[in-house]
Amino acid sequence: MSAAATRPDRSYLLRKLHSLSGIVPVGAFLAEHFWSNSYALVGVAKYNEKSQELQTIPFRVIVEAAVIWLPILYHGGYGVYIWLKGKSNVSDYPWVGNWLYTLQRYTGLVAFAFIGWHVWTERFLTQGKSTYSDVEHALRNPYYLAFYVIGVLASSFHLGVGIWNFLCKWGLAATVQAQRAAGKLGATVGFVFSLVGILIVVSFRLNWHPFGHFVTLK
Amino acid sequence: MGETKKVILRVKRQAGPKHAPRWEEFALNWRPAMNVIICLRDIAENPVTRDGKKTTPVTYESNCLEEVCGSCAMLINGKARMACSALVDSLPQPIRLEPLSKFPVVRDLAVDRSFMFESLKRVKAWIPIDGTYDLGEGPRMAPETQEQAYPLSRCISCGNCLEVCPQVNENNAFVGAAIISQVRLFNMHPTGAMHARERLEALMGPGGIADCANAQNCVKACPKEIPLTESIAEMNRQAWKQALLGWLFG
Amino acid sequence: MREPKIIVVGGGLAGLMATIRVAEAGVPVELFSIVPVKRSHSVCAQGGINAAKNTKGEGDSTDKHFDDTIYGGDFLANQPLVKRMCEAAPGIIDLLDRMGVMFNRTTEGLLDYRRFGGTLYHRTAFAGATTGQQLLYALDEQVRRYEADGKVNKFEGWTFLSAVIDDGGICRGICAMDMRSTEVKTFPADAAIFCTGGIGAIFGLSTNSVVCTGSAQSALFQQGVDYANGEFIQVHPTAIPGEDKLRLMSESARGEGGRIWVPRKPGDTRPPNSILESERFYFLEEWYPKYGNLVPRDIATRAIHRVVFQEKLGIHGQAAVYLDLTHIPREVLDRKLEGILEIYEKFLGINPRKEPMKVFPGMHYAMGGVWVNNEDQATNVPGIYAAGECEYQYHGANRLGANSLVSCIFGGGIAGPAAVKYARGLAQGCESTPASAFERERKRQAAMNEALIRQEGGENPIAIWRAMGELMTEHVTVTRYNKNLQQVDAKLRELTDRFRRINLSDHTLWSNQTLNFARELGNMLVLARVITLGALARNESRGAHYKPDFPERDDANWLKTTRANYSNGEIKLTYEPVDTSLIPPRPRRYDVAR
In this predicted structure, the answer to whether residue C1 has a pLDDT above a threshold of 70 is no
* Contact B213/C at CB under 8 A: no
- On the question of pLDDT at A202 being above 70, the answer is yes
Name the percent of chain C lying above pLDDT 90.
90
Cβ separation of A174 and B211 shorter than 8 Å? no
Where are the alpha helices (H) located in C260-354, listed in sequence order? 283-287, 297-305, 330-336, 338-348
Sheet architecture: strand order including B6-13: B22-29, B6-13, B95-98, B73-76, B79-82
CATH of the domain at B242: 1.10.1060.10
Give residue C593's pLDDT band: very low, low, confident or very high (50, 70, 90). Answer: low
Instruction: Check if the beta carbon of residue C371 is closer than 8 Å to that of residue C227.
Output: yes
Neighbour subunits, C (≥3 Cβ pairs < 8 A): B
Contacts of B84 in chain C (CB under 8 A): 244
Please answer yes or no on whether B205 and A5 come within 8 Å at the CB atom: yes
In angstroms, the CA C104 to CA C90 distance is: 16
Q: Does B199 touch chain C (CB under 8 A)?
A: no
For chain C positions 376-435, those within 8 Å of chain B (CB to CB) are 413
* C348·B56 Cβ contact <8 A: no
**Per-residue confidence (pLDDT) for residue C47, from 0 to 100:** 83
Q: Does residue B65 fall inside a structural domain?
A: yes
Q: What is the CATH number of the domain that holds B24?
A: 3.10.20.30
Which residue range forms the structural domain that includes residue C535? 436-560
Q: CATH number for the domain including C314? A: 3.90.700.10
Q: Domain boundary at B85, B111, B137, which? A: B111
Rounded-to-integer distance, Cα C421 and Cα C506, Å = 44
| pLDDT tens string B198-232 | 999 999 999 999 999 999 999 999 999 999 999 99
Q: Tell whether B146 is covered by a domain.
A: yes
C43 has a chain B CB within 8 A of its CB? yes
* B20 inside domain: yes
Task: State the average pLDDT over residues C326-351.
Answer: 88
Same domain, B62 and B162: no
Binned at pLDDT 50, 70 and 90, residue A1 comes out as very low
Q: Domain locations in chain A?
A: 10-214
Chain C residues with CB under 8 Å of B119 CB are none
Q: Does B248 score more than 80 pLDDT?
A: no
Helix (H, G, I), strand (E, B) or coil at A64: helix
Answer yes or no: is B198 within a domain. yes
B236:A15 CB<8 A: no
pLDDT of residue A3: 37
Whether C354 and C455 share a structural domain = no
Tell me if B163 is assigned to some domain.
yes
Whether residues B178 and B214 fall in one domain: yes
Confidence of residue C42 (pLDDT cuts 50, 70, 90): very high
Q: Does domain A10-214 have CATH number 1.20.1300.10?
A: yes
Instruction: Please provide the size of chain C in residues.
Output: 594
Q: Can the peptide bond before residue A25 be classed as cis, meaning omega within 30 degrees of 0?
A: yes
Which of chain A's residues have a Cβ under 8 Å away from the Cβ of B206? 1, 9, 11
Please report the pLDDT score of residue C116 as a whole number.
Answer: 86
Q: Which domain holds residue B220?
A: 114-249
Q: Domain for residue C465, yes or no?
A: yes
| Inter-chain residue contact A85 with B171, CB threshold 8 Å | yes
Beta strands C384-386; C191-194: pairing state: parallel
Same-domain status, B48 and B153: no
Number of folded domains that form chain B: 2
Residue ending a domain, choose from C307, C327, C361: C361
Given a contact cutoff of 8 angstroms between Cβ atoms, the answer to whether C116 and C252 are in contact is: yes
Q: Name the residue among B79, B213, B221 with its Cβ closest to that of A101.
A: B213
Chain B residues within an 8 Å CB radius of C466: 45
Q: Show residues of chain C in contact with B54, CB under 8 Å.
A: 505
- pLDDT for A136 beyond 90: yes
What are the backbone dihedrals phi and psi of residue C544, each rounded to the nearest 5 degrees, phi first? -75, -15
Q: How confident is the model at residue C365 (pLDDT cuts 50, 70, 90)?
A: very high
Say whether both B102 and B119 belong to one domain. Answer: no
C-alpha A104/C-alpha B215 separation (Å) is 10
The set of residues, in sequence order, having a beta carbon less than 8 Å from that of C55 and lying 6+ positions away, is: C106, C110, C111, C113, C122
Whether residue C339 lies inside any domain: the answer is yes
Contact B206 A11 (CB under 8 A): yes
Query: Are B102 and B219 found together in one domain?
Result: no
Residue B174 lies in a domain: yes
Residue C567 lies inside a defined structural domain of this protein: no
Q: Can you tell me the distance from the alpha carbon of B204 to that of B226, in angstroms, rounded to the nearest whole number?
A: 22
For residue C155, what are the contacts with CB-CB under 8 A and spacing of at least 6?
A: C30, C31, C32, C33, C176
Of B166, B220, B250, which has the smallest distance from its Cβ to A87's Cβ?
A: B166
Same domain, residue pair B60 and B119: no
Q: Find which of B40, B103, B126 to mutate to test the C interface (most C CBs within 10 Å of its CB).
A: B126
The rounded distance, in Å, linking the Cα atoms of C545 and C568 is: 29
The secondary structure of residue C308, as a DSSP letter, is I
End residue of a domain, out of B92, B111, B130: B111
Q: Are residues B148 and B211 in the same domain?
A: yes
Within-domain flag for C477: yes
Residue B3 has pLDDT above 80, yes or no: no
Count of structural domains within chain C:
2
Residues in chain B with CB shorter than 8 Å from the CB of A168 are 214, 229, 232-233, 236
- Each residue of B132-149: pLDDT tens digit? 999 999 999 999 999 999
Q: Is it the case that residue C252 has pLDDT exceeding 90?
A: no
Give just the sign of the alpha carbon dihedral C579, C584, C586, C588. Answer: negative
Give C81-106 pLDDT, tens digit per residue. 999 999 999 999 999 999 999 999 99
Residues 209-228 of B with CB under 8 A from A: 209-217, 220-221, 227
Apex B74 CA angle, A92 and C213, nearest 5:
170
CB < 8 Å to B141, chain C: 105, 109
Å between C586 CA and nearest CA of chain B: 35
- Report the C-alpha gap between C502 and C82 in whole angstroms: 43
| Stronger pLDDT, A4 or C390, i.e. the higher one | C390
Average pLDDT over residues C324-333: 94
Mean per-residue pLDDT, A95-104: 97
**pLDDT tens per residue across span C471-486:** 999 999 999 999 999 9
- My answer on whether B122 and B165 are in the same domain is yes
Whether residues B147 and B165 share a domain: the answer is: yes
CB–CB of B229 and A168 under 8 A?
yes
Does the structure show a pLDDT above 50 at A125?
A: yes
Check CB contact of B150 with chain C, cutoff 8 Å. Answer: yes
Q: Is the pLDDT of residue C348 over 90?
A: no
Mean pLDDT of C433-458: 95
* Domain boundary residue, one of B91, B111, B131: B111
From its phi and psi, is residue C249 left (phi > 0), alpha (psi between -120 and 50) or beta?
beta
Q: What's the gap in Å between the CA of A163 and the closest CA on chain B?
A: 12
Residue B1: which pLDDT band, with cuts at 50, 70 and 90?
A: very low
Q: Are residues B53 and B154 in the same domain?
A: no
> Does B232 reach chain A within 8 Å, measured CB to CB?
yes
Decide if C493 is catalytic: no
> What's the whole-number mean pLDDT along residues C487-492?
98
* pLDDT over 60 at A4, yes or no: no
**Which of B64, B140, B141, B155 is the best residue to mutate to test the C interface, defined by the most C CB atoms within 10 Å of its own CB?**
B64
CA distance C400 to C234: 10
- Which residues 153-172 of C have a C-beta within 8 angstroms of B? 156
Of the listed C21, C114, C259, C297, which one is catalytic?
C297
Q: What's the pLDDT at B250?
A: 60
Provide φ and ψ at C142, rounded to 5°: -65, -40
Cβ-Cβ contacts under 8 Å, C180 against chain B: 106-107
pLDDT for C2 beyond 90: no
Please give the mean pLDDT across all residues of chain C. Answer: 95
- Is residue B1 assigned to a domain? no
- Considering only alpha carbons, which residue of chain C is nearest residue B141? C109
Of C95, C93, C111, the closest CA to residue C103 belongs to C111
Among C99, C242, C244, select the one facing B129 at the smallest CB separation.
Answer: C99
Whether C209 and B63 lie within 8 Å, measured CB to CB: yes
Q: Is there a contact between C133 and B41 if contact means CB atoms under 8 Å apart?
A: no
Q: What percent of chain B has pLDDT over 70?
A: 98
Looking at residue C479, which CATH number applies to its domain?
Answer: 1.20.58.100
In a domain, C384, yes or no: no
* Virtual torsion, Cα C51, C55, C56, C62, nearest 10 deg: 40
pLDDT at residue C88, rounded to an integer = 98
Please provide the DSSP assignment of C18-58 as one string.
Answer: HHHHHHHTT--EEEEESS-GGGSGGGG--S-EE-----SSS
- Specify whether B13 is located in the same domain as B105: yes
